[in-house]
Amino acid sequence: MAVETQQKHLLILEDNQGRKEFSLEKSVYSIGRQSDCDIRLFSHFVSRHHATLVRREHEDGSYYYRIVDGDLNGKPSANGLLINGRKLHAHDLQDEDEIVFGPQVRAVYYLVNPDSLAIESTDEWDVTLTSANTSEELEEIHYLEGSP
């Protein structure tokens, strides 16, 4: 039996209230400034129901998200979507796609493979610091390989 790698879908949003991270798992997300939206945008320059994320399945069973301008009833947003610098009505999201909803309101989509998060240090000067409050404590710096 083949081991299936579970990918994580993230949307990092920046708007007038700062930066927020959304882990995408549901099949549909509404995006906009209306209080009933799944992903709220805080800006008067975006529509109440600005866009919709819809999960779609690949033939191999993995899935991806498509972003569509407006709501599921076909009503488009006032300003549309700018995706990777192009004005589009719909787009199948790929890793690191940038979505601009309006001035100072943007998101970046990430497709993260959990296996790629394991980081192994290859730095020959791997340093461990202890509490360095005094000059004597600074001497407690330990080099794992080599010593100056």
pLDDT digits (tens, 9 = 90+) for 115-138: 655 444 455 545 444 444 444 444
Residues 10-56 have pLDDT tens digits of 999 999 999 999 999 999 999 999 999 999 999 999 999 999 999 99
Helix (H, G, I), strand (E, B) or coil at 136: helix
**In this structure, which topology does domain 8-116 adopt according to CATH?**
Tumour Suppressor Smad4 (2.60.200)
| Residue 97 pLDDT exceeds 50 | yes
Query: Which 3 state secondary structure label does DSSP give 52?
Result: strand
Residue 7: both structure tokens together: 């990918």
What's the confidence (pLDDT) of residue 124?
52
| Domain boundaries, given as residue ranges, for the chain | 8-116
Share of the chain above pLDDT 90, in %: 64
**pTM score:** 0.73
Tell me the CA distances in angstroms from 146 to 107, 125, 135, 139, 140, one per residue in order.
Answer: 44, 7, 21, 15, 15
